[in-house]
Amino acid sequence: MEISVDIRVPLRPCLAPPSGRSIVLDRVLKLYDAGACPFCARVRIVLEEKGLAYETVEIDLRNRPSWVYDLNASGKVPVLDDGFVLPESAVIMEYLEERYPEPALLPADAAARARARLAVFRFDELLGDDYYAHRRGDPNALVERLAALPAGLSLFSDIAYLPWVIRVRDRLGVELPGGLATWLEGLAPRPSIARELEVVAAL
């Protein structure tokens, strides 16, 4: 029998987004989350960049409660609930960008938006597969993938990759290529990114 504890974290105050304003919602956003999960980190960062307050329901990934499968048939997190229940981090990112368009994370130019979305779509090919192969101790090309990472296309696509880049450096002990290290240093002062750096440091 699965035994689980539903830990509800008090409403997480929004950080001031770049526009300097926060958004008042009719309904509290609820994020089913796991602090160690980089896919969840994508959503946390977007919520904070958008200035959205949200409640977190922490999920133990080693002992997933059975009711999580009612939210997402795969049992995976993140899952966002704002009255509309939505799994899958990349889809949640798109949803939040459309529902709360300011401040924008995607460029205004249609071609630039398409390039950013394509980079997210190709995440497994461009980083994810080799990241997880490295973690398993399997043959991989992680260093080469990091050197070729499409960083800087947009804040949207940067957020999609950044949780893994942080974990590569701070959890796996892999030295980042110079350009990627500079990219991360440039993003680190953003409150949403600084908070994620703190989360990873505490793991």
Domain spans of the chain? 7-99, 110-201
The answer to whether 78 and 39 have CB atoms below 8 angstroms apart is yes
The amino acid sitting at 58 is: E
Residue 10 pLDDT greater than 90, yes or no: no
Per-residue pLDDT reduced to its tens digit, 120-161: 999 999 999 999 999 999 999 999 999 999 999 999 999 999
Report the amino acid identity of residue 26. Answer: D
Least confidently predicted of 7-21, 33-47, 93-107, 182-196 = 7-21
**Which amino acid is present at 138?**
D
Angle between helices 89-99 and 110-121 (to 10 degrees): 160
Task: Please pick, among 14, 15, 29, 37, the residue that the annotation labels catalytic.
Answer: 37
Closest CA to 164 of 15, 29, 74, 45: 45
pLDDT band for position 8 (cuts 50, 70, 90): very low
Segment 106-123 shows an average pLDDT of: 98
Superfamily of 7-99 according to CATH: Glutaredoxin (3.40.30.10)
Rounded-to-integer distance, Cα 182 and Cα 44, Å: 23
Cα distances (Å, whole numbers) of residue 122 to 125, 166, 195: 5, 19, 26
> 37 an active-site residue?
yes
